[in-house]
Amino acid sequence: MNKSQNLIVLSLLVLFALGSVLYWDYQIKQEDAKQSALVFYCAAGMKPPVEAIRESYEKEYGVPVLIQYGGSGTLLSNLSVAKQGDLYLAADETYITQGKEKGLIDETISVAYLTPVIAVAKGNPKEIHGVDDLSRDNVALALANPDAASVGRTVKSLLTQSGDWETIQAHCKVFKPTVNDIANDIKIGSVDAGVVWDAVAAQYPELETVHAPELDAGRMRINIGVLSFTEQPTAALRFARYLTARDKGLKIFQSMGYEVVEGDVWEETPHIVFYSGSVNKPALDDTVKEFSEREGAQIDVTYNGCGILVAQMKAGERPDAYFACDVSFMHQVTDLFLDASNMAKTDIVIAVQKGNPKHIQTLNDLTKEGMLVGVCNEEQSALGYLTARLLKDAGVYEGVRKNVQSEVPIGPFLVNQTVTGSLDAVIVYDVNAKAAADQLEIIHIDHPLANATQPFAIAQTSNHKELIGRLLERIRSAQSEERFKNAGFEWLGGVPDDTVKNDWTESKDETLSHEPR
Protein backbone atom coordinates (compact mmCIF):
# COMPACT_ATOMS: atom_id res chain seq x y z
CA MET A 1 0.00 0.00 0.00
CA ASN A 2 1.52 3.34 -1.07
CA LYS A 3 1.63 6.55 0.94
CA SER A 4 -1.47 8.01 -0.80
CA GLN A 5 -3.51 4.91 0.03
CA ASN A 6 -2.29 4.99 3.62
CA LEU A 7 -3.31 8.63 3.89
CA ILE A 8 -6.79 7.88 2.52
CA VAL A 9 -7.26 4.97 4.97
CA LEU A 10 -6.01 7.07 7.87
CA SER A 11 -8.38 9.90 6.91
CA LEU A 12 -11.30 7.50 6.71
CA LEU A 13 -10.45 6.09 10.15
CA VAL A 14 -10.27 9.60 11.60
CA LEU A 15 -13.60 10.53 10.01
CA PHE A 16 -15.16 7.31 11.29
CA ALA A 17 -13.88 7.95 14.81
CA LEU A 18 -15.08 11.54 14.72
CA GLY A 19 -18.45 10.45 13.40
CA SER A 20 -18.74 7.83 16.15
CA VAL A 21 -17.96 10.42 18.81
CA LEU A 22 -20.50 12.86 17.36
CA TYR A 23 -23.11 10.10 17.05
CA TRP A 24 -22.73 8.96 20.65
CA ASP A 25 -22.68 12.56 21.86
CA TYR A 26 -25.93 13.11 19.97
CA GLN A 27 -27.42 9.92 21.43
CA ILE A 28 -26.43 10.96 24.96
CA LYS A 29 -27.95 14.41 24.47
CA GLN A 30 -31.10 12.86 23.06
CA GLU A 31 -31.32 10.49 26.03
CA ASP A 32 -30.72 13.36 28.47
CA ALA A 33 -33.42 15.41 26.77
CA LYS A 34 -35.76 12.44 26.94
CA GLN A 35 -35.07 11.98 30.64
CA SER A 36 -35.58 15.66 31.42
CA ALA A 37 -38.83 16.01 29.47
CA LEU A 38 -41.88 16.56 31.67
CA VAL A 39 -45.01 14.56 30.95
CA PHE A 40 -48.09 16.67 31.64
CA TYR A 41 -51.74 15.51 31.58
CA CYS A 42 -54.02 18.50 31.07
CA ALA A 43 -57.77 19.11 30.79
CA ALA A 44 -58.55 19.86 27.13
CA GLY A 45 -60.38 23.10 27.92
CA MET A 46 -57.15 24.71 29.08
CA LYS A 47 -55.12 23.94 25.98
CA PRO A 48 -54.72 27.54 24.66
CA PRO A 49 -53.13 29.06 27.77
CA VAL A 50 -51.19 25.90 28.62
CA GLU A 51 -49.70 25.68 25.13
CA ALA A 52 -48.57 29.30 25.36
CA ILE A 53 -47.02 28.66 28.78
CA ARG A 54 -45.31 25.48 27.57
CA GLU A 55 -43.78 27.33 24.62
CA SER A 56 -42.53 30.12 26.88
CA TYR A 57 -41.07 27.72 29.44
CA GLU A 58 -39.31 25.58 26.85
CA LYS A 59 -37.83 28.67 25.22
CA GLU A 60 -36.68 30.11 28.54
CA TYR A 61 -35.33 26.95 30.21
CA GLY A 62 -34.90 24.39 27.44
CA VAL A 63 -36.95 21.73 29.24
CA PRO A 64 -39.34 19.81 26.93
CA VAL A 65 -42.92 19.55 28.20
CA LEU A 66 -44.94 16.75 26.59
CA ILE A 67 -48.67 17.36 27.06
CA GLN A 68 -51.57 14.97 26.69
CA TYR A 69 -54.95 16.69 26.53
CA GLY A 70 -58.29 15.08 27.33
CA GLY A 71 -61.26 15.09 29.65
CA SER A 72 -60.26 15.44 33.30
CA GLY A 73 -61.98 12.18 34.27
CA THR A 74 -60.52 10.25 31.37
CA LEU A 75 -57.01 11.49 32.17
CA LEU A 76 -57.35 10.55 35.83
CA SER A 77 -58.53 7.06 34.89
CA ASN A 78 -55.54 6.67 32.58
CA LEU A 79 -53.18 7.83 35.34
CA SER A 80 -54.67 5.32 37.77
CA VAL A 81 -53.67 2.53 35.39
CA ALA A 82 -50.43 3.80 33.82
CA LYS A 83 -48.91 5.42 36.93
CA GLN A 84 -46.48 7.38 34.78
CA GLY A 85 -45.94 11.10 34.27
CA ASP A 86 -45.17 14.22 36.22
CA LEU A 87 -48.11 16.65 36.32
CA TYR A 88 -51.91 16.70 36.12
CA LEU A 89 -54.13 19.73 35.62
CA ALA A 90 -57.85 19.11 36.04
CA ALA A 91 -60.71 21.46 35.31
CA ASP A 92 -62.42 20.38 38.51
CA GLU A 93 -61.01 20.44 42.04
CA THR A 94 -62.80 17.22 42.90
CA TYR A 95 -60.65 15.25 40.44
CA ILE A 96 -57.55 16.52 42.24
CA THR A 97 -59.12 15.45 45.54
CA GLN A 98 -59.82 11.99 44.10
CA GLY A 99 -56.25 11.77 42.84
CA LYS A 100 -54.87 12.59 46.28
CA GLU A 101 -57.18 10.07 47.94
CA LYS A 102 -55.94 7.39 45.52
CA GLY A 103 -52.32 8.29 46.25
CA LEU A 104 -51.71 9.57 42.71
CA ILE A 105 -51.02 13.22 43.60
CA ASP A 106 -48.72 14.85 46.13
CA GLU A 107 -48.42 18.67 46.01
CA THR A 108 -51.10 20.87 44.46
CA ILE A 109 -51.03 24.54 43.43
CA SER A 110 -54.07 26.70 42.69
CA VAL A 111 -54.43 28.19 39.21
CA ALA A 112 -57.79 29.86 38.57
CA TYR A 113 -61.56 29.62 38.92
CA LEU A 114 -64.05 28.24 36.43
CA THR A 115 -67.81 28.70 36.33
CA PRO A 116 -70.17 26.71 34.07
CA VAL A 117 -72.22 28.90 31.69
CA ILE A 118 -74.62 28.38 28.80
CA ALA A 119 -72.84 29.05 25.50
CA VAL A 120 -74.78 30.15 22.41
CA ALA A 121 -73.94 31.61 19.00
CA LYS A 122 -73.17 35.32 18.85
CA GLY A 123 -76.38 37.32 19.03
CA ASN A 124 -78.19 34.48 20.86
CA PRO A 125 -80.53 33.73 17.88
CA LYS A 126 -82.62 31.20 19.86
CA GLU A 127 -83.07 33.69 22.72
CA ILE A 128 -81.85 31.35 25.40
CA HIS A 129 -81.86 33.05 28.81
CA GLY A 130 -81.78 30.24 31.35
CA VAL A 131 -81.71 26.52 32.06
CA ASP A 132 -85.41 26.10 31.27
CA ASP A 133 -84.82 27.24 27.68
CA LEU A 134 -82.38 24.39 27.07
CA SER A 135 -85.22 21.85 26.92
CA ARG A 136 -87.27 23.72 24.31
CA ASP A 137 -88.11 21.71 21.18
CA ASN A 138 -86.36 24.21 18.88
CA VAL A 139 -83.05 24.09 20.79
CA ALA A 140 -80.39 21.53 19.85
CA LEU A 141 -78.30 21.00 22.98
CA ALA A 142 -74.80 19.57 23.53
CA LEU A 143 -73.43 18.59 26.94
CA ALA A 144 -70.17 17.09 28.14
CA ASN A 145 -70.06 13.44 29.12
CA PRO A 146 -70.29 13.36 32.95
CA ASP A 147 -67.98 10.34 33.06
CA ALA A 148 -65.24 11.93 30.96
CA ALA A 149 -65.20 15.72 31.37
CA SER A 150 -65.26 17.78 34.55
CA VAL A 151 -67.82 20.24 33.20
CA GLY A 152 -70.13 17.32 32.41
CA ARG A 153 -69.95 15.93 35.91
CA THR A 154 -70.38 19.40 37.43
CA VAL A 155 -73.43 20.18 35.29
CA LYS A 156 -75.03 16.84 36.13
CA SER A 157 -74.52 17.46 39.84
CA LEU A 158 -75.85 21.04 39.72
CA LEU A 159 -78.90 20.24 37.63
CA THR A 160 -79.69 17.18 39.71
CA GLN A 161 -79.76 19.45 42.75
CA SER A 162 -82.04 21.92 40.96
CA GLY A 163 -84.34 19.13 39.70
CA ASP A 164 -83.63 19.83 36.00
CA TRP A 165 -81.22 17.03 35.08
CA GLU A 166 -83.66 14.36 33.91
CA THR A 167 -85.42 16.79 31.55
CA ILE A 168 -82.20 18.33 30.22
CA GLN A 169 -80.52 14.95 29.79
CA ALA A 170 -83.46 13.58 27.81
CA HIS A 171 -83.42 16.61 25.50
CA CYS A 172 -79.64 16.62 24.89
CA LYS A 173 -78.77 15.95 21.23
CA VAL A 174 -75.18 14.84 21.83
CA PHE A 175 -72.77 14.18 24.70
CA LYS A 176 -69.20 15.22 23.99
CA PRO A 177 -65.92 13.99 25.57
CA THR A 178 -64.43 17.48 26.11
CA VAL A 179 -65.64 21.01 26.69
CA ASN A 180 -63.89 22.20 23.52
CA ASP A 181 -65.95 19.80 21.42
CA ILE A 182 -69.12 21.50 22.67
CA ALA A 183 -67.79 24.99 21.89
CA ASN A 184 -66.76 23.90 18.40
CA ASP A 185 -70.19 22.38 17.70
CA ILE A 186 -71.88 25.65 18.67
CA LYS A 187 -69.36 27.58 16.57
CA ILE A 188 -70.12 25.60 13.40
CA GLY A 189 -73.87 25.57 14.09
CA SER A 190 -74.40 21.83 14.57
CA VAL A 191 -76.04 22.64 17.93
CA ASP A 192 -77.69 25.77 19.28
CA ALA A 193 -76.41 25.69 22.87
CA GLY A 194 -74.21 23.88 25.31
CA VAL A 195 -72.85 24.22 28.83
CA VAL A 196 -69.14 25.05 28.97
CA TRP A 197 -66.67 26.72 31.30
CA ASP A 198 -66.76 30.52 31.15
CA ALA A 199 -63.04 30.76 30.37
CA VAL A 200 -63.39 28.32 27.46
CA ALA A 201 -66.25 30.30 25.95
CA ALA A 202 -64.12 33.46 26.22
CA GLN A 203 -61.66 31.88 23.77
CA TYR A 204 -64.34 31.72 21.01
CA PRO A 205 -65.26 35.14 19.56
CA GLU A 206 -68.16 33.46 17.71
CA LEU A 207 -69.88 32.64 21.03
CA GLU A 208 -71.54 34.50 23.86
CA THR A 209 -72.50 33.28 27.29
CA VAL A 210 -75.59 33.21 29.46
CA HIS A 211 -75.26 32.93 33.23
CA ALA A 212 -77.84 30.91 35.15
CA PRO A 213 -78.13 30.80 38.96
CA GLU A 214 -78.32 27.02 38.87
CA LEU A 215 -74.91 26.92 37.16
CA ASP A 216 -73.24 29.86 38.94
CA ALA A 217 -73.29 27.74 42.09
CA GLY A 218 -70.73 25.49 40.40
CA ARG A 219 -67.84 27.98 40.47
CA MET A 220 -64.76 26.02 41.45
CA ARG A 221 -61.02 26.32 41.74
CA ILE A 222 -58.72 24.49 39.35
CA ASN A 223 -55.38 23.12 40.52
CA ILE A 224 -52.27 21.58 39.06
CA GLY A 225 -50.96 18.52 40.88
CA VAL A 226 -47.53 16.89 41.02
CA LEU A 227 -47.95 13.15 40.46
CA SER A 228 -46.72 10.93 43.26
CA PHE A 229 -44.82 8.65 40.88
CA THR A 230 -42.85 11.39 39.14
CA GLU A 231 -39.13 10.61 38.95
CA GLN A 232 -38.24 14.32 38.82
CA PRO A 233 -40.33 16.08 41.48
CA THR A 234 -38.15 19.19 41.67
CA ALA A 235 -38.39 19.77 37.90
CA ALA A 236 -42.14 19.10 37.99
CA LEU A 237 -42.63 21.55 40.86
CA ARG A 238 -40.54 24.19 39.08
CA PHE A 239 -42.77 24.03 36.00
CA ALA A 240 -45.89 24.02 38.17
CA ARG A 241 -44.63 27.14 39.96
CA TYR A 242 -43.93 28.78 36.59
CA LEU A 243 -47.42 27.96 35.33
CA THR A 244 -49.01 29.39 38.49
CA ALA A 245 -46.74 32.42 38.94
CA ARG A 246 -48.57 35.75 38.82
CA ASP A 247 -45.90 37.26 36.55
CA LYS A 248 -45.59 34.20 34.26
CA GLY A 249 -48.28 31.60 33.60
CA LEU A 250 -51.16 33.36 35.34
CA LYS A 251 -50.69 36.42 33.11
CA ILE A 252 -51.39 34.18 30.12
CA PHE A 253 -54.41 32.56 31.78
CA GLN A 254 -55.79 35.99 32.66
CA SER A 255 -55.29 37.33 29.14
CA MET A 256 -57.45 34.46 27.86
CA GLY A 257 -60.40 35.21 30.12
CA TYR A 258 -59.62 33.16 33.24
CA GLU A 259 -60.32 34.40 36.75
CA VAL A 260 -56.92 33.68 38.24
CA VAL A 261 -55.75 33.30 41.83
CA GLU A 262 -53.22 35.64 43.41
CA GLY A 263 -50.27 33.33 42.74
CA ASP A 264 -46.64 33.58 43.82
CA VAL A 265 -43.98 35.73 42.21
CA TRP A 266 -41.75 33.70 39.88
CA GLU A 267 -38.26 32.79 41.02
CA GLU A 268 -36.39 29.87 39.55
CA THR A 269 -35.01 29.25 43.05
CA PRO A 270 -37.40 30.87 45.54
CA HIS A 271 -35.77 32.46 48.58
CA ILE A 272 -37.81 32.12 51.78
CA VAL A 273 -37.13 33.75 55.15
CA PHE A 274 -38.58 31.64 57.95
CA TYR A 275 -38.60 32.63 61.65
CA SER A 276 -39.11 29.93 64.24
CA GLY A 277 -38.97 29.72 68.00
CA SER A 278 -36.01 27.59 69.04
CA VAL A 279 -38.27 25.07 70.78
CA ASN A 280 -39.45 23.80 67.36
CA LYS A 281 -35.99 23.08 65.96
CA PRO A 282 -35.58 19.40 66.96
CA ALA A 283 -38.90 18.46 65.34
CA LEU A 284 -38.81 20.89 62.41
CA ASP A 285 -35.28 20.87 61.00
CA ASP A 286 -35.42 17.69 58.90
CA THR A 287 -38.83 18.54 57.44
CA VAL A 288 -37.67 21.96 56.27
CA LYS A 289 -34.50 20.54 54.73
CA GLU A 290 -36.40 17.83 52.85
CA PHE A 291 -38.99 20.32 51.65
CA SER A 292 -36.43 22.82 50.38
CA GLU A 293 -34.56 20.09 48.46
CA ARG A 294 -37.73 18.78 46.82
CA GLU A 295 -39.02 22.25 45.91
CA GLY A 296 -35.65 23.54 44.74
CA ALA A 297 -36.06 26.47 47.13
CA GLN A 298 -33.69 28.25 49.51
CA ILE A 299 -35.24 28.43 52.97
CA ASP A 300 -33.30 30.44 55.52
CA VAL A 301 -34.53 29.47 58.98
CA THR A 302 -33.76 31.71 61.95
CA TYR A 303 -34.25 29.87 65.25
CA ASN A 304 -34.27 32.11 68.31
CA GLY A 305 -36.21 33.21 71.36
CA CYS A 306 -39.60 34.51 70.24
CA GLY A 307 -39.12 37.77 72.14
CA ILE A 308 -36.08 38.48 69.98
CA LEU A 309 -37.91 37.42 66.79
CA VAL A 310 -40.93 39.59 67.59
CA ALA A 311 -38.67 42.56 68.35
CA GLN A 312 -37.02 42.12 64.94
CA MET A 313 -40.41 42.04 63.21
CA LYS A 314 -41.60 45.12 65.09
CA ALA A 315 -38.38 46.83 63.95
CA GLY A 316 -39.29 46.15 60.33
CA GLU A 317 -38.04 42.64 59.50
CA ARG A 318 -40.53 40.70 57.37
CA PRO A 319 -40.19 36.91 57.27
CA ASP A 320 -42.34 34.87 54.89
CA ALA A 321 -43.49 32.61 57.71
CA TYR A 322 -43.37 32.44 61.49
CA PHE A 323 -43.58 29.37 63.74
CA ALA A 324 -43.91 30.78 67.25
CA CYS A 325 -43.07 29.17 70.59
CA ASP A 326 -46.48 30.17 71.92
CA VAL A 327 -49.66 31.85 70.71
CA SER A 328 -48.96 34.87 72.92
CA PHE A 329 -45.96 35.69 70.72
CA MET A 330 -47.98 35.27 67.54
CA HIS A 331 -50.65 37.67 68.76
CA GLN A 332 -48.08 40.42 69.24
CA VAL A 333 -47.52 40.51 65.45
CA THR A 334 -50.91 39.32 64.28
CA ASP A 335 -51.29 42.29 61.90
CA LEU A 336 -48.38 40.91 59.83
CA PHE A 337 -49.79 37.43 59.24
CA LEU A 338 -52.68 35.46 57.84
CA ASP A 339 -54.57 33.09 60.08
CA ALA A 340 -52.43 31.00 62.42
CA SER A 341 -52.64 27.22 62.76
CA ASN A 342 -51.80 25.66 66.10
CA MET A 343 -49.45 22.79 65.31
CA ALA A 344 -48.24 21.41 68.63
CA LYS A 345 -48.14 21.85 72.38
CA THR A 346 -45.55 21.25 75.09
CA ASP A 347 -45.54 21.46 78.89
CA ILE A 348 -43.37 23.77 80.94
CA VAL A 349 -41.42 21.67 83.47
CA ILE A 350 -38.67 21.77 86.08
CA ALA A 351 -35.49 19.99 85.03
CA VAL A 352 -32.93 18.89 87.64
CA GLN A 353 -29.77 16.81 87.76
CA LYS A 354 -30.05 13.03 87.65
CA GLY A 355 -31.05 11.71 91.04
CA ASN A 356 -32.64 15.05 92.02
CA PRO A 357 -30.04 15.77 94.77
CA LYS A 358 -31.92 18.84 96.04
CA HIS A 359 -35.21 16.90 96.31
CA ILE A 360 -37.19 19.42 94.27
CA GLN A 361 -40.85 18.53 93.73
CA THR A 362 -42.76 21.80 93.21
CA LEU A 363 -42.29 25.44 92.25
CA ASN A 364 -42.22 26.30 95.96
CA ASP A 365 -39.01 24.30 96.33
CA LEU A 366 -37.28 26.74 93.97
CA THR A 367 -37.72 29.51 96.56
CA LYS A 368 -35.54 27.74 99.19
CA GLU A 369 -32.43 29.49 100.42
CA GLY A 370 -29.31 28.78 98.36
CA MET A 371 -31.11 27.19 95.42
CA LEU A 372 -29.40 27.85 92.07
CA VAL A 373 -32.17 28.40 89.51
CA GLY A 374 -32.13 29.14 85.77
CA VAL A 375 -34.94 30.70 83.72
CA CYS A 376 -35.34 32.22 80.29
CA ASN A 377 -35.40 35.99 79.84
CA GLU A 378 -39.00 37.15 79.78
CA GLU A 379 -38.26 39.95 77.31
CA GLN A 380 -36.35 37.77 74.86
CA SER A 381 -38.27 34.52 74.81
CA ALA A 382 -41.75 33.09 74.95
CA LEU A 383 -40.56 30.60 77.57
CA GLY A 384 -39.31 33.43 79.77
CA TYR A 385 -42.58 35.31 79.45
CA LEU A 386 -44.65 32.19 80.13
CA THR A 387 -42.44 31.27 83.10
CA ALA A 388 -42.91 34.70 84.67
CA ARG A 389 -46.67 34.49 84.12
CA LEU A 390 -46.75 31.02 85.67
CA LEU A 391 -44.67 32.03 88.73
CA LYS A 392 -46.79 35.11 89.35
CA ASP A 393 -50.03 33.15 89.11
CA ALA A 394 -48.60 30.53 91.49
CA GLY A 395 -47.56 33.26 93.94
CA VAL A 396 -43.84 32.38 93.93
CA TYR A 397 -42.44 34.90 91.46
CA GLU A 398 -40.39 36.97 93.93
CA GLY A 399 -39.20 33.93 95.84
CA VAL A 400 -37.89 32.22 92.72
CA ARG A 401 -36.41 35.40 91.26
CA LYS A 402 -34.08 35.89 94.22
CA ASN A 403 -32.52 32.49 93.41
CA VAL A 404 -32.12 33.03 89.66
CA GLN A 405 -28.44 32.61 88.76
CA SER A 406 -28.83 32.33 85.00
CA GLU A 407 -31.18 34.08 82.57
CA VAL A 408 -30.84 33.17 78.89
CA PRO A 409 -32.86 33.58 75.66
CA ILE A 410 -33.54 29.87 74.92
CA GLY A 411 -34.21 26.71 76.90
CA PRO A 412 -31.36 24.49 75.59
CA PHE A 413 -28.81 26.83 77.21
CA LEU A 414 -30.41 26.16 80.59
CA VAL A 415 -30.44 22.41 79.98
CA ASN A 416 -26.70 22.45 79.28
CA GLN A 417 -26.02 24.37 82.50
CA THR A 418 -28.01 21.84 84.50
CA VAL A 419 -26.22 18.89 82.90
CA THR A 420 -22.84 20.39 83.83
CA GLY A 421 -23.99 21.01 87.42
CA SER A 422 -23.88 24.80 87.23
CA LEU A 423 -27.55 25.00 88.26
CA ASP A 424 -29.73 23.03 90.63
CA ALA A 425 -32.95 23.45 88.68
CA VAL A 426 -34.24 25.16 85.54
CA ILE A 427 -37.68 25.92 84.18
CA VAL A 428 -37.81 24.83 80.54
CA TYR A 429 -40.08 23.28 77.95
CA ASP A 430 -40.62 19.55 78.31
CA VAL A 431 -39.11 19.06 74.83
CA ASN A 432 -35.94 20.93 75.92
CA ALA A 433 -35.50 18.61 78.89
CA LYS A 434 -36.28 15.43 76.94
CA ALA A 435 -33.37 16.16 74.60
CA ALA A 436 -31.12 15.32 77.60
CA ALA A 437 -33.44 12.86 79.35
CA ASP A 438 -30.60 10.42 80.08
CA GLN A 439 -28.81 13.10 82.14
CA LEU A 440 -31.74 14.92 83.76
CA GLU A 441 -34.90 14.27 85.69
CA ILE A 442 -38.12 16.01 84.69
CA ILE A 443 -40.60 17.28 87.25
CA HIS A 444 -44.02 18.16 85.88
CA ILE A 445 -45.75 21.27 87.22
CA ASP A 446 -49.37 20.91 88.27
CA HIS A 447 -50.69 24.25 87.04
CA PRO A 448 -53.00 25.22 84.14
CA LEU A 449 -50.48 27.80 82.84
CA ALA A 450 -47.61 25.30 82.65
CA ASN A 451 -47.81 24.77 78.90
CA ALA A 452 -47.22 26.48 75.55
CA THR A 453 -48.92 26.13 72.15
CA GLN A 454 -46.91 26.52 68.93
CA PRO A 455 -48.71 28.28 66.03
CA PHE A 456 -47.61 28.64 62.38
CA ALA A 457 -48.62 31.53 60.12
CA ILE A 458 -47.89 32.90 56.64
CA ALA A 459 -46.94 36.54 56.21
CA GLN A 460 -49.44 38.77 54.46
CA THR A 461 -46.63 40.42 52.48
CA SER A 462 -44.96 37.20 51.34
CA ASN A 463 -44.56 36.78 47.60
CA HIS A 464 -44.59 33.00 48.08
CA LYS A 465 -47.81 32.24 49.95
CA GLU A 466 -48.54 29.16 47.83
CA LEU A 467 -45.08 27.74 48.48
CA ILE A 468 -45.33 28.42 52.23
CA GLY A 469 -48.77 26.82 52.14
CA ARG A 470 -47.15 23.66 50.80
CA LEU A 471 -44.55 23.84 53.56
CA LEU A 472 -47.40 24.04 56.07
CA GLU A 473 -48.95 20.93 54.51
CA ARG A 474 -45.60 19.16 54.83
CA ILE A 475 -45.41 20.16 58.51
CA ARG A 476 -48.93 18.75 58.92
CA SER A 477 -47.91 15.42 57.34
CA ALA A 478 -47.84 12.09 59.18
CA GLN A 479 -44.05 11.99 58.97
CA SER A 480 -43.78 15.44 60.56
CA GLU A 481 -46.32 14.51 63.21
CA GLU A 482 -44.13 11.55 64.16
CA ARG A 483 -41.10 13.83 64.45
CA PHE A 484 -42.95 16.22 66.76
CA LYS A 485 -44.18 13.38 68.94
CA ASN A 486 -40.70 11.82 69.11
CA ALA A 487 -39.35 15.19 70.23
CA GLY A 488 -41.86 15.23 73.07
CA PHE A 489 -44.60 17.49 71.70
CA GLU A 490 -48.32 16.91 71.95
CA TRP A 491 -49.57 16.99 68.35
CA LEU A 492 -52.43 19.37 67.42
CA GLY A 493 -52.11 19.08 63.66
CA GLY A 494 -52.90 22.64 62.60
CA VAL A 495 -56.17 23.51 64.32
CA PRO A 496 -57.06 27.18 63.72
CA ASP A 497 -56.20 29.81 66.30
CA ASP A 498 -59.65 31.35 66.62
CA THR A 499 -58.31 34.56 68.13
CA VAL A 500 -56.90 35.62 64.73
CA LYS A 501 -58.85 36.27 61.53
CA ASN A 502 -57.95 35.50 57.89
CA ASP A 503 -57.82 31.74 57.41
CA TRP A 504 -55.20 31.06 54.72
CA THR A 505 -56.27 27.44 54.42
CA GLU A 506 -59.77 28.54 53.36
CA SER A 507 -58.90 31.61 51.28
CA LYS A 508 -55.31 31.13 50.20
CA ASP A 509 -55.87 32.80 46.85
CA GLU A 510 -57.06 36.09 48.30
CA THR A 511 -55.06 38.96 49.77
CA LEU A 512 -56.48 39.58 53.24
CA SER A 513 -55.81 42.03 56.02
CA HIS A 514 -56.90 42.71 59.58
CA GLU A 515 -56.42 45.23 62.33
CA PRO A 516 -53.60 44.78 64.83
CA ARG A 517 -54.59 43.47 68.21
Task: Report pLDDT digits (tens) over 392-402.
Answer: 999 999 999 99
Domain topology for 116-218: D-Maltodextrin-Binding Protein; domain 2 (3.40.190)
What integer pLDDT is reported at residue 47 of this predicted model? 93
The Cα 106–Cα 465 span in angstroms is: 18
Query: CB under 8 Å, gap of 24 or more: what pairs does 45-51 form?
Result: 45/91, 45/151, 45/178, 45/179, 45/180, 45/196, 45/197, 45/199, 45/200, 46/89, 46/91, 46/199, 46/222, 47/180, 48/203, 48/256, 49/249, 49/252, 49/253, 49/255, 49/256, 49/258, 50/89, 50/243
CA angle (496, 500, 505) in 5-degree steps: 45
Return the percentage of the chain with pLDDT > 70, whole number: 89
Which of these ranges, 74-78, 90-94, 346-350, 351-355, has the smallest mean pLDDT?
90-94
The answer on pLDDT for 3 being more than 90 is no
Q: What's the CATH superfamily of 37-112+226-259? A: Periplasmic binding protein-like II (3.40.190.10)
Q: Is 75 exposed, middle or buried (0-12, 13-18, 19+ CB in 10 A)?
A: buried
Domain ranges for the chain: 1-34, 37-112+226-259, 116-218, 269-517
How would residue 506 be classed by pLDDT, with cut points 50, 70 and 90? very low
Whether 257 has a pLDDT exceeding 80, the answer reads: yes
What residue ranges in 265-320 does DSSP mark as E strands? 271-277, 298-304
Using pLDDT thresholds of 50, 70 and 90, give the confidence band for residue 36: confident
Per-residue pLDDT at 23 exceeds 80: no
Whether residue 134 is predicted with pLDDT greater than 70 in this model: the reply is yes
Task: Report the top-level CATH class of 269-517.
Answer: alpha beta
d(CA 114, CA 152): 13
Fold match flag (37-112+226-259 vs 269-517) = yes
pLDDT band at residue 487 under the 50/70/90 scheme = very high
Q: Give the pLDDT of residue 12.
A: 52
Contact 428, 411 (CB under 8 A): yes
The 10s digit of each residue's pLDDT in 401-432 is 999 999 999 899 999 999 999 999 999 999 99
Per-residue confidence band for 10, with pLDDT thresholds at 50, 70 and 90: low
| pLDDT band per the 50, 70, 90 thresholds, residue 94 | confident
- How far is residue 407's CA from residue 411's CA, in Å, rounded to a whole number? 10
Average pLDDT over residues 62-80: 93
Q: How confident is the model at residue 11 (pLDDT cuts 50, 70, 90)?
A: low
| Whole-number average pLDDT of the chain | 89
Find the helix packing angle between 150-162 and 93-101, rounded to 10°. Answer: 110
